[in-house]
Amino acid sequence: RFSRTEFHPPVRPRNIIDIRTNECFARGHLPYSTSIPADELQERLLEMPPPVEDPLTLLGESEEHISAAQELLVRKGWEFTDVLREVDVKDDLVSTDPSVQCWRPNDFLGCVIEELKDRLPAEGVAIDYGCGSGRDVVYLAQKLKGWRVTGVDHHSHALARGERLAQRYEVDVEFICQDLRKDSNLNTTADLVHGCRFLSRPLLDYCKHEVLKDDGLLVWSTFADGIENPAPPYRASRKLVPGEFKRLFPDEAFEEIHYSRGTLNTRQKPVPAEFFAGRKKPVRTAGKSGYYHHAADGAP
């Protein structure tokens, strides 16, 4: 059984992005570096850590490559702690370890899975609703070996980026293009349901009653109403009212693992948000003897 847990985001490592060629990286690089060659940088921005939250150290071969990479990354919101030329650190390029994965899932999902992974079953089904470009669902596939993992979104270009990420990191993910505000039915049940930065109250209700299995885990974080939100979403229908997660997933139906209010960054600004993780309690019905028992599948 799960128990209520406080989650703390991990301490961030130094993110060293090595934009030299693959050949140069293989010959030697700074320890704990991530290899993303300069000519692949634009198409692999998804593999970078979040901008603003994680400043970068950039290492390149030439001033031309370094300046072009800096210009691109600054425009996208990243900041730098160091910018290094290969010639200036050549004596430190001693590591031949594989490239480090520096992208990560959203903090809340990462904390929940790291805390509970040893208590999750060896096999199961996980669904990431509103998966976007796929970092969270690819992370789930990495962590939940033996599970069937599915990501759903209605943005085909984002799903294509997710497919490329899954291929690069050699995990199996089923991506489904579907507008969840119009049709939330995937004709399956799940042992883990996740969503982040996405709010559809009918979908949450459907997941609660029809998708999530007994003892299944729900992990959801999304925007909440604040005094004045500094960035989208602005529409009230896309934001939780204070305490809404507690009403959507009451104690009699869910064992609360974690609930809190905080912020999610949008357009490099903190926006109010709520975070909920809970285990669905098995439905119990009154038996003839007066004791309670689990309802059998298909039983009235």
Grouping H, G, I as helix, E, B as strand and the rest as coil, residue 202 is helix
pLDDT of residue 267: 76
Query: Can you give the pTM of this predicted structure?
Result: 0.88
User: In percent, how much of the chain has pLDDT > 70?
Assistant: 87
pLDDT of residue 229: 64
State the Cα–Cα distance between residues 93 and 257, nearest whole angstrom.
Answer: 44
pLDDT digits (tens, 9 = 90+) for 215-226: 999 999 999 986
Strands 292-294 and 284-286: antiparallel
Two structure tokens written together for 249 = 């997933």
Residue recorded with tokens 């301490």 = 11
Report whether pLDDT(271) > 90: no
pLDDT of residue 136: 98
Lowest mean pLDDT among 86-95, 267-276, 287-296: 287-296
Q: Which residues contact 157 (CB under 8 A, 6 or more apart)?
A: none
Considering only residues 158 and 53, tell me which one the structure prediction assigns the higher pLDDT. 158
Work out the pLDDT band at 296, boundaries 50, 70, 90.
very low
CA distances from 213 to 1, 190, 281, 297 (A): 15, 6, 9, 11
- Evaluate whether 184 touches 203 at the Cβ level (below 8 Å): yes
Report whether pLDDT(6) > 90: no
- Evaluate whether 183 touches 68 at the Cβ level (below 8 Å): no
165 burial via Cβ count (<10 Å: 0-12, 13-18, 19+): buried
pLDDT digits (tens, 9 = 90+) for 94-110: 999 999 999 999 999 99
Mean pLDDT score across all residues of the chain: 88
Report whether pLDDT(277) > 80: yes
